[in-house]
Amino acid sequence: MNLNNFTFANRPTLVRFINQWDLGLILIIFAILFFLGEAASQITRPYSLGQHLPISLKLSYLPHYALYTVLRLFIALFFSLLFTLVVGTLAAKSRSAEKLIIPTLDVLQSVPVLSFLSITVAGFIQLFPGQLLGPECACIFAIFTAQVWNMTFSFYQSLKTFPPELIEVADVFQLSPWQRFWKLEVPFSLSALIWNIMMSMSASWFFVVLSEAIQVAHQDIRLPGIGSYIAVAVETQNLTALGYAILAMIFIIFLYDQLVFRPLVVWVEKFKMDASSQDDLADAWLLNWIMASHFLRRVLRPLGQLKDRFLNAKKINQLFNLKKSQPMPKLTLSLNIIWYALLSLILLGISLRLSIYIYSTITLATFLHVILLGVATSIRVIIAILLSSIIWVPIGVLIGLRPIWASRIQPLLQMAAAFPVNLFYPLFVIAIVRFNLNVEVWVTPLVILSAQWYILFNVIAGAARIPRDLCLAASNFGLKGFAWWKRLALPGVFPFYVTGAITASGAAWNASIVAECVSWGKTTLNGSGLGSYIKENTIAGHFPEIVLGTCIMCGFVLLFNHILWRPLYRFAEERFIV
């Protein structure tokens, strides 16, 4: 779009202040504000525990349910982004904090959403008695746990692989740590972070049924939303309502892709470390509107000035630019000993408390049985990661190296990733029952469908970060076929692949809760595994069994991370920085 055609020198003042592009943007802004206000009114409704919240499958209710779900998704996304910037930065900048934060994140990403709901629902209801805000907060927190971990790992990985030449640039321009963070480190991390935000939004749809249709300890709380709509449609075997829900999801994903993510993906192209050809640049109609808007530029100008003050504020820069005092090895050693001793005591106390709680209620036979269930689920997780890697790493590299392809395929990928696996339940249940298939084998594809997207989105983000100069150099040296993959593509995406594989592993463990216990109407099929064990006991309200299943799952995840993913992470940090 040629913006030089828009000249307003001889027009009235009002026309120079507002042009035709402004009218469209103003309508979009007011529509968003109206819909948010309409959805926010739902949260303030009175509610008492045990009260039935009716969910209608009529088509006329679906737009309202869609608004409520979208509001919950974006509230959770806001807190996920805040958590990512704070915790991811702390883990990347402080070795002491890193040794605590990263294992904690490993544990938290493996804790099932149902386990979070079991713990938090009662607490939030007590915190906001007599209001629907309690269950709403529990739902938003569950969605938050589905979004935040891959975003935090992505940001942490980007900061850990920050190029040394950019550190030299910061030193040359005498940037304070505060300025370096916002002017160099955050822009450098944005490409991968935005792709992981899109993945987080898509992952949210997978767990939105569990989050909005809360079934914990014989309590059945149905919050108005697409998740509850789908849950009721599955229970009543209403294929028409499921079709309406799918169409509504596709429309919503397309809408926020066009209004939020497509402009962001195009915008972050300017932060790439190499100059891309104009032919390779993607386009976004909303970004063109914003660039052509006079009114919006005038409105946003004060925000730009506020941003400059925020980045250049003397007090903030002085706070983050304090000169380090002379190192005192003895004091540092003493503080480290105290720090690690305190952490060890906390972990020991938690472990003893959990052990006593489990030992007093669980027999040894049950404990060994649950470990075997963990082995069964771990086999499904390994198969899911291997197959997802074989299929999606080559495809992700090809998409990421072509920005125009990425921008066109992006909404399709989001729709595919957001498609709740539980909508495939009718097909799987009918096929398993009709053809007498092995449940233990045929629940595995449901785990694969849930985990594969983390690998694909991270590989796309990694391929998009490979400098164009390296691609041209590889072409000039005649690198083709296996040599091209070995010397350029795989090293370029490897750190991102490791991040995607770690989060995919956590997602696969989480997805086992949904995949190993599938139902359609009154027919329920259970596969042997930790997922079905935790889900059955969560619905029944057996808290010792929930704690045992969750602890065993966390133990398996930590074991995999310790022997596989963490060594690969360190290897990626040391060897592969593009």
pLDDT score for 334: 67
List 219's β-bridge partners, or say none.
Answer: 216
Supply 166's token pair. Answer: 């950019």
**Per the domain annotation, does 335 fall within a domain?**
yes
Given 339, 360, 381, the domain boundary residue is 360
**Per the domain annotation, does 48 fall within a domain?**
no
In a shared domain, residues 465 and 349:
no
In a shared domain, residues 188 and 275:
yes
List 525's β-bridge partners, or say none.
Answer: 518
In a shared domain, residues 356 and 500:
no
Condensed to tens digits (0 to 9), the pLDDT of residues 551-576 reads 888 888 888 888 888 888 788 777 76
80 pLDDT above the threshold of 90: yes
Mean pLDDT calculated for residue range 460-483: 84
Condensed to tens digits (0 to 9), the pLDDT of residues 92-108 reads 988 878 888 888 887 78
Given 281, 314, 340, the domain boundary residue is 281
544 pLDDT above the threshold of 70: yes
**Per the domain annotation, does 35 fall within a domain?**
no
**Cα angle: 64, vertex 31, 265; to 5 degrees:** 100
Name the residue among 66, 42, 38 with its Cα closest to residue 245: 66
Say which DSSP state 529 is in. S
Condensed to tens digits (0 to 9), the pLDDT of residues 187-234 reads 999 988 998 898 888 878 877 877 888 776 567 788 889 988 988 888
Residue 8: HSE in the Cβ half-sphere, 13 Å Cα cutoff: 15
**Per the domain annotation, does 384 fall within a domain?**
yes
**Per the domain annotation, does 287 fall within a domain?**
no
Q: Categorize the per-residue pLDDT at 1 as very low, low, confident or very high, splitting at 50, 70 and 90.
A: very low
Q: Mean pLDDT in the chain?
A: 79
- In terms of Cβ atoms closer than 10 Å to its own Cβ (0-12, 13-18, 19+), residue 537 is buried
577 pLDDT above the threshold of 60: no
Supply 310's token pair. Answer: 């925020």
Say which DSSP state 327 is in. P
In a shared domain, residues 117 and 159:
yes
- In percent, the amount of the chain with pLDDT more than 70 equals 84
Condensed to tens digits (0 to 9), the pLDDT of residues 238-282 reads 888 988 988 898 888 888 888 888 888 888 877 776 655 444 556
CATH assignment of the domain containing 248: 1.10.3720.10
Helix runs in 161-293, H state only: 164-172, 177-180, 186-212, 226-235, 239-256, 262-267, 285-292
CA distance linking residue 247 with residue 353, whole number of Å: 48
Supply 44's token pair. Answer: 């303030």
346 pLDDT above the threshold of 50: yes
pLDDT score for 205: 82
Looking at 395-520, which runs of residues are DSSP E strands? 517-520
**Per the domain annotation, does 41 fall within a domain?**
no
Name the residue among 552, 420, 416 with its Cα closest to residue 112: 552
Q: Categorize the per-residue pLDDT at 315 as very low, low, confident or very high, splitting at 50, 70 and 90.
A: low
CA distance linking residue 171 with residue 72, whole number of Å: 42
pLDDT score for 372: 93
In a shared domain, residues 334 and 393:
no
- The maximal CA–CA distance of the chain, rounded, in angstroms, is 86
Residue 416: HSE in the Cβ half-sphere, 13 Å Cα cutoff: 12
Condensed to tens digits (0 to 9), the pLDDT of residues 434-456 reads 787 787 888 888 888 878 888 99
> End-to-end distance of the chain based on CA atoms, in angstroms?
33
327 pLDDT above the threshold of 60: no
pLDDT score for 3: 45
Least confident range from 25-29, 145-149, 181-185, 255-259: namely 25-29
Name the residue among 470, 493, 500, 562 with its Cα closest to residue 161: 493
pLDDT score for 14: 46
Cα–Cα separations (whole angstroms), residue 49 to 85, 522, 565: 36, 26, 43
Q: Categorize the per-residue pLDDT at 9 as very low, low, confident or very high, splitting at 50, 70 and 90.
A: very low
User: Do 121 and 138 touch, CB atoms closer than 8 A?
Assistant: yes
Name the residue among 68, 156, 109 with its Cα closest to residue 509: 109
pLDDT score for 150: 86
**Is 320 or 39 the better-scoring residue by pLDDT?**
39
3-state secondary structure 57-120: CCHHHHHHHHHHHHHHHHHHHHHHHHHHHHHHHHHHHCHHHHHHHHHHHHHHHHCCHHHHHHHH
Mean pLDDT calculated for residue range 114-128: 77
pLDDT score for 280: 53
Condensed to tens digits (0 to 9), the pLDDT of residues 363-398 reads 888 889 999 999 999 999 999 999 999 999 999 999
pLDDT score for 76: 93
Supply 79's token pair. Answer: 């807190």
In a shared domain, residues 234 and 369:
no
In a shared domain, residues 425 and 503:
yes
Q: Categorize the per-residue pLDDT at 8 as very low, low, confident or very high, splitting at 50, 70 and 90.
A: very low
**Per the domain annotation, does 471 fall within a domain?**
yes
**Structural domain of residue 337, as residue ranges?**
330-360
Supply 207's token pair. Answer: 């767990």
As for how many domains the chain has, the answer is: 3
Supply 76's token pair. Answer: 């959770």
In a shared domain, residues 440 and 339:
no
Condensed to tens digits (0 to 9), the pLDDT of residues 488-541 reads 888 889 988 988 898 888 888 888 887 787 776 677 777 888 888 888 887 777
**Per the domain annotation, does 225 fall within a domain?**
yes
- In terms of Cβ atoms closer than 10 Å to its own Cβ (0-12, 13-18, 19+), residue 2 is exposed
Q: Is 45 helix (H, G, I), strand (E, B) or coil?
A: coil
152 pLDDT above the threshold of 90: yes
Supply 560's token pair. Answer: 């995999």
**DSSP of 347-377, one letter per residue?**
HHHHHHHHHHHHHTT--HHHHHHHHHHHHHH
**Which positions ≥6 away from 357 have C-beta within 8 Å?**
544, 547
pLDDT score for 234: 80
In a shared domain, residues 346 and 415:
no
CA distance linking residue 500 with residue 487, whole number of Å: 21
77 pLDDT above the threshold of 90: yes
Given 360, 377, 400, the domain boundary residue is 360
Residues 153, 154, 155, 161: is their CA dihedral positive or negative? positive
In a shared domain, residues 83 and 179:
yes
Name the residue among 488, 393, 379 with its Cα closest to residue 444: 379
Least confident range from 125-129, 157-161, 458-462, 500-504: namely 125-129
CA distance linking residue 465 with residue 140, whole number of Å: 32
Supply 451's token pair. Answer: 């985990």
The residue with tokens 């998704």 is 73
In a shared domain, residues 388 and 490:
yes
In a shared domain, residues 477 and 546:
yes
